[in-house]
Structure 1
């Protein structure tokens, strides 16, 4: 991108903050905060357009496709019915561009958007904006807020710049989106990537360190190599088949943090079943039903930071196929957990 005029920027929505017990170990606390907003791999995210011109909608479709074409395990499906969507996209030109982050979209009322685009998406800057907002929905934060970036700001100039056109931000918005450093417990310790699609365009004079960015920071636009590596690591390509989980048989799971295990459930009788993890661990467990070739959410549970295990109760029907996915946050001192249904 070669524009030198002031740019409109994403005003990402604040993330929810978990109320974790103060007696959790530092390692357990950090892993929960790091992973809690990430989707279970294999999730089908259904998106719905509230309104908007056809060219803008098509730009968003292409951005979803660009993320998907990296070979990731997440699936993006456009739906015609608002009630079927997790991601609801508006084009309110008076509200800027923004998104909620990761699984926070699930807490938003079905009558409200979870993402908005406030400017044209058909040029290079707009294309990058579409990729950027989808990146937030995948769970990615703003890259310049990485606490390991080492950025030193000329804060009065930063506030003055974002107060002016075209952003017209309050000081609180500028602090939230630019100057605030993400807590070290919520990042992986990865180095700063100034080429990331999650990075802002900054004019000269706002950054004093590193010295090479005193003249401005102008990411090339599009997905960087590090962006691609991140999303492929968190959402790798799914295996074409998964093992069958048999009733009343506990299956040990030897997973690293962020690791995931997937199983097929093929009930032999129609009744209510319990599906649960066991062991000293923090997990998110999600049950899907295969309907017309697509996995649809049935139930889920997240036990992170609590003295219990993830567990769902659901009526399953003979002759139908279900998939249960378990993603690990933390596995205790033993490093072991297990899953079973009955």
Structure 2
């Protein structure tokens, strides 16, 4: 086994209130990392001399700086992969920015730190000086395009395909541990568990069936998979976006429809199914603090964007998933400016209707 793999750190399980119904909990687990559709994801490449990790030099008591900057050739590979995802016609768009404070995705190229990415909206919890993605080897090498496509898949909310419970994979655990412990990965048993052997919850998967051709599927050589029998000789995905990858992206991020107006003090019913979204525009009649929120027995994400130069820029958001409360955002809106409100439904858990309102 010589392929270098994406290495996600172990993350704490999301905390939800005890006693939630299984269907409601599954909707929250599956939808929690997903961006609201229509989001512009701004990405930034670290490059300044100050952008580096300081790591110890073994046996010396000294430290050294390992820069996060990548070459222009490597950045071009990542740009091309963003364009490839964008070319599917998804409702999320990507824009490169030169200011890290404007970026939801901040990308480094630190050698020796592996390749990894935050999963979807988890990127928002990283500090502005921190990476949300690292691409830790030369992307101009043959597997570099796969590495970048895979990392962006994580940034869109996708998990590792080979960890799907629908795969029915029976591993030779000790062979997997031994293969990953050696070069070029040098993984601990815990890291191998997190990234290969641990099965995902069914709600976390990219789809309802295993897709061995997915860009989120690791390639594996012979001797690691005991069952299914046809994979004794290994799994060799092509390293490109599969039809199921494209279906996932378009299911969560369909081409954005024109938003409807949300007039202050007039509620709008939300006839949404789990994972569906409603978009509204708000043109405030006066400058003041407004509340934007939802009503009804539902778990929703509500995000408010302000249009700047024709582009929606994130202003505020609230996810009420798993709580008995509705999403509500108090935000100052300025007369003469245009705002976009996006409401994504995780689930409904009662008989009452749901609605959105600005007041």
Check the 8 A contact 2:9/2:191 in 1, yes or no.
Answer: no
Give yes or no for contact 1:245–1:264 (8 Å, CA) kept in 2: yes
The residue aligned with 2:89 is: 71
Paired position in structure 1 for 2:123:
105
**CA-CA distance at 1:123 after TM superposition:** 3.9
Correspondence list, 1:27-106, <5 A: 27-50=23-46, 51-106=69-124
2: CA distance, partners of 1:127 / 1:21 = 41
Q: Does 1:9 align with 2:5?
A: yes
**Correspondence list, 1:166-315, <5 A:** 166-187=184-205, 190-239=208-257, 241-315=258-332
Is the CA contact (8 Å cut-off) linking 2:159 and 2:206 kept in structure 1? no
CA contact (8 A) 1:16 1:104 kept: no
Query: Do the aligned partners of 1:285 and 1:310 also contact (CA within 8 Å) in 2?
Result: yes
- Of residues 134, 141, 153, the one that matches 1:135 is 153
- What is the distance in 2 between the residues matched to 1:104 and 1:130? 18
Aligned match of 2:17 in 14, 21, 24? Answer: 21
Aligned residue-pair number: 337
Give the drift of 1:16.
4.5
RMSD: 1.2
- The superposition leaves residues 48-100 of structure 1 with CA deviations (integer Å, 9 ceiling, x where unpaired) of 10121000000000000100110001011111011111111001111111111
- In the alignment, structure 2 segments of 5+ residues that lack a partner are 47-68
Q: Distance in 2 between matches of 1:201 and 1:188?
A: 17
The superposition leaves residues 80-139 of structure 1 with CA deviations (integer Å, 9 ceiling, x where unpaired) of 011111111001111111111111110011111110111121244110110000000100
SS of aligned partner of 1:177: helix
Deviates more, 1:326-335 or 1:10-19: 10-19
Deviation, 1:196, is 0.1
Which segment is superposed worse, 328-337 or 243-252?
328-337
TM-score by length of 1: 0.96
Q: How far, CA to CA, are the matches of 1:191 and 1:102 in structure 2?
A: 21
Tell me the distance in 2 between the aligned counterparts of 1:20 and 1:142.
23
Q: TM-score, normalised by structure 2?
A: 0.92
SS in 2 for 1:273: strand
Distance 1:232 1:321, change over 3 A: same
Give unmatched runs, 5+ long, in structure 1: none
Are the counterparts in 1 of residues 159 and 205 from structure 2 also a CA contact under 8 Å? no
C-alpha separation in 2, matches of 1:155 and 1:67: 34
Match of 2:350 in 1: 333
